[in-house]
Amino acid sequence: MKLITAILKPFKLDDVKDALQAAGITGMTVSEASGFGRQRGHTEVYRGAEYTVDLVPKVRLEVLVDDKDANSVVDVIVKAASTGSIGDGKVWTTPVDQVVRVRTGEKGPDAI
Amino acid sequence: MVSSVLFVIGMNMEEVVLNSGDTAWMLMSAGLVTLMIPGIALFYGGMVRVKSVLNMMMMSFGALAVVFTLWIIFGFSMVFGDSVGGNGYIGDVTEFLFLKGLDNSGALIGTIPAAVFIAFQGVFAAITVALISGSIADRAKFGAWMVFAGIWATLVYFPVAHWVFAFDDFVAETGGWIANDLGAIDFAGGTAVHINAGAAGLAVAIVLGKRVGFGRSPMRPHNLPLVMLGAALLWFGWFGFNAGSAVASNGTAGLALLNTIGATAAAVLAWLVVEKVRDGHATSLGAASGVVAGLVAITPACAAVTASGALIIGVVAGVLCAMSVGLKFRFGFDDSLDVVAVHLVGGIVGTIMIGFVGVEVGLFNGGGTDQLVKQATGVVAVLAYSFIMTLIIAKVIDLVMGFRISKDDEISGIDLVVHAERGYELTDNTQGSVSGASKGA
């Protein structure tokens, strides 16, 4: 099994969610995140005082998938999240040893 | 004493009776000025960081609690009692101690019940103290602030309000020196309220010192919609503050109300233009600040200028206040929410501009420099008295009980450390359990 983690522009979340659901993905976890890559931050002005804000708001999306689906799901996310401009985010996968569904106790791919 | 109220009747040689129109407007004005307390609390509260919002708002509520209590006990008498020795410096504290003779439904001041006039003027006093709190955001012990509020009102506001607001033969036979001997025009408190609070804000910010990280860490406003709501409530409440200062439902009140809107609109425009040119953006914080700068500046002048005069005052205040907000970084005093730039500068602008654009008396209206000199004298007297007295009061409080919370507490956040509360609970995820029975029941 694989954990797919995607850092997205917040306004692309709906597109990615819809695309994943269309691809048969039935569950995901979304959290607010902030950070920077090449996009860097921005400047804010309060009563003439300028503040440089380094961290840009992002959305972190996590999906658990079976090994055989990992590449195609990554492709779905990348396609749906892309705007072609800097700051579109990143997607990566990590191996997962075990998954248990809390309600039923099912383990492994059955729990996904 | 009732006798001094009856004295008004004797002076006018006609029976003064209650005017229900005046009374209705002053009842409403007293309500409007009380709305300025949450106005200040929200305006300041939204501007601080999330860890200090409650303490910031509590300083305004606390000021009302302390000052209005003192107002009933001896404050009103110190401001509106007969001037001690007739020299116009302070009212006789014994004359209306505990409002004797006035706290009944029959006593009149002018054409309105004494109770209404006392309530209206008492909230003025509380607002003035609340304004000071903006200069010491995030770092003042709440107990020390409450002590400061009481002592400052007693030693600074009550005397200065006597100088400016106590007219001869209105409540008592002899009133304050600025109102009667000097003859400076200050309709609703450019000197007594705003220069007074602004100078005090500077002094107390100097005594407390800078916040941890001042000038280095970003100290961004945590909730600008609260700031804008606060500014709008202040604008609304200010109609009572300015137009209510006519103490009558008449043309003076009407002119004051019109000018209070006009000057403020012009000040918002001016502040935003300065921002757009200087910073590249017109900001919501700038608009809210322009509102207050305009309101402050028109306060002394609202009954002394035409509508065009009010626009001029608004523009001058908007520009000068917007340009003054950077001074604290240059001179290194942490006037956290710009009490100096908005209230001191705005108060000076409004008070001095009467000498230029005041109807009949202003230099531009053929009045010569006579009034201008009187206005400047009033400004200097109140500024100097307030600044020096506040330095002493704040320093003594700091030595006796400590005015400032510890560095660690300041970093943790004053709301949690001092009040044992947090302003916002945005999720249900907080872990914890009830650790003791309620002591409230």
Q: What is the pLDDT of residues B20-76, one digit of tens each?
A: 999 999 999 999 999 999 999 999 999 999 999 999 999 999 999 999 999 999 999
Residue B135 has pLDDT above 60, yes or no: yes
Q: Is residue B426 part of a domain?
A: no
Those residues whose C-beta lies under 8 Å from the C-beta of residue B362, and which sit 6 or more positions away, are B305, B309, B354, B355, B356, B371, B372
Of B281, B289, B322, nearest to A45 by CB-CB distance is: B281
Residue B115 is encoded by which pair of tokens?
Answer: 């109770």
For range B239-266, the mean pLDDT: 98
> Number of structural domains, chain B?
1
Q: Is the Cβ pair A48, B280 closer than 8 Å?
A: no
Q: How confident is the model at residue B215 (pLDDT cuts 50, 70, 90)?
A: confident
- Looking at per-residue pLDDT, the higher value among A49 and B94 belongs to B94
Q: How confident is the model at residue B109 (pLDDT cuts 50, 70, 90)?
A: very high
Q: How confident is the model at residue A40 (pLDDT cuts 50, 70, 90)?
A: confident
Judging contacts by C-beta atoms under 8 Å, the chain A residues touching residue B325 are 47-49
Position B10 scores a pLDDT of 42
Work out the percent of chain A whose per-residue pLDDT is above 90.
Answer: 75
Tens-digit pLDDT profile for residues B280-317: 999 999 999 999 999 999 999 999 999 999 999 999 99
Residue A99 is encoded by which pair of tokens?
Answer: 């998954």
Position B9 scores a pLDDT of 42
Question: Which residue range is the domain that position B274 belongs to?
Answer: 2-417
CA distance B143 to B248: 38
Q: How confident is the model at residue A51 (pLDDT cuts 50, 70, 90)?
A: confident
Residue B131 is encoded by which pair of tokens?
Answer: 């304004």
Say which range, B1-15, B55-69, B93-107, B141-155, has the weakest mean pLDDT. B1-15
B-side interface with A, Cβ within 8 Å?
A: 218, 220-221, 275, 278-281, 283, 285-286, 289, 322, 325-326, 329, 338
Of A48, A51, A53, nearest to B326 by CB-CB distance is: A48
Architecture of the structural domain at A2-106: 2-Layer Sandwich (3.30)
- Looking at per-residue pLDDT, the higher value among A51 and B180 belongs to B180
Position B4 scores a pLDDT of 44
Q: Is the Cβ pair A44, B280 closer than 8 Å?
A: no
Cα B139 to Cα B231, B257, B393, B406, B414, distances in angstroms: 23, 37, 17, 8, 7
Query: Nearest residue on chain A to B328, judged by CA atoms?
Result: A49
Residue B404 is encoded by which pair of tokens?
Answer: 């400032």
Per-position DSSP letters for B254-277, written without gaps between them: HHHHHHHHHHHHHHHHHHHHHHHH
What Rg value do the Cα atoms of chain A yield, rounded? 17
- Looking at per-residue pLDDT, the higher value among B136 and A55 belongs to B136
The enclosing domain of B357 has a CATH number of 1.10.3430.10
Of A44, A47, A53, nearest to B289 by CB-CB distance is: A47
Position A41 scores a pLDDT of 80
Cα B431 to Cα B51, B218, B320, B418, B427, distances in angstroms: 19, 29, 49, 21, 11
What Rg value do the Cα atoms of chain B yield, rounded? 22
Tokens 């009149």 belong to residue? B108
- Residue B342, by phi and psi: left (phi above 0), alpha (psi -120 to 50) or beta? alpha
Of A45, A51, A53, nearest to B283 by CB-CB distance is: A45
For range A44-59, the mean pLDDT: 89
0.80 exceeded by pTM: yes
Q: Is residue B440 part of a domain?
A: no
Residue B375 has pLDDT above 60, yes or no: yes
- Looking at per-residue pLDDT, the higher value among B169 and B10 belongs to B169
CA distance B150 to B198: 17
Q: Give the start-to-end residue ranges of the domains of chain A.
A: 2-106
A47, A50, A51: best mutation site toward chain B, by most B Cβ within 10 Å? A47
